[in-house]
Amino acid sequence: MKTDPDNTSFFENILLFIGIDVHKSKWVVTIRTYDLELKTKEY
């Protein structure tokens, strides 16, 4: 499979929303697009 070096970004033209929720002893990072949500475990 040939790759195109000018088109290597999967997230090109996709809006990402990144949130960091920090409390006294816990934190969570959330990354969202319009149709996907990824969260870290609570630390």
Give the whole-angstrom CA distance, residue 21 versus residue 30: 8
Q: What is the pTM of this model?
A: 0.56
pLDDT in tens, 1-28: 556 566 667 767 888 889 998 888 888 8
pLDDT of residue 43: 65
Q: Following DSSP, what letter does each residue of 16-37 receive, concatenated?
A: -EEEEEE-SS-EEEEEE-SS-E
pLDDT in tens, 23-39: 888 888 888 888 888 88
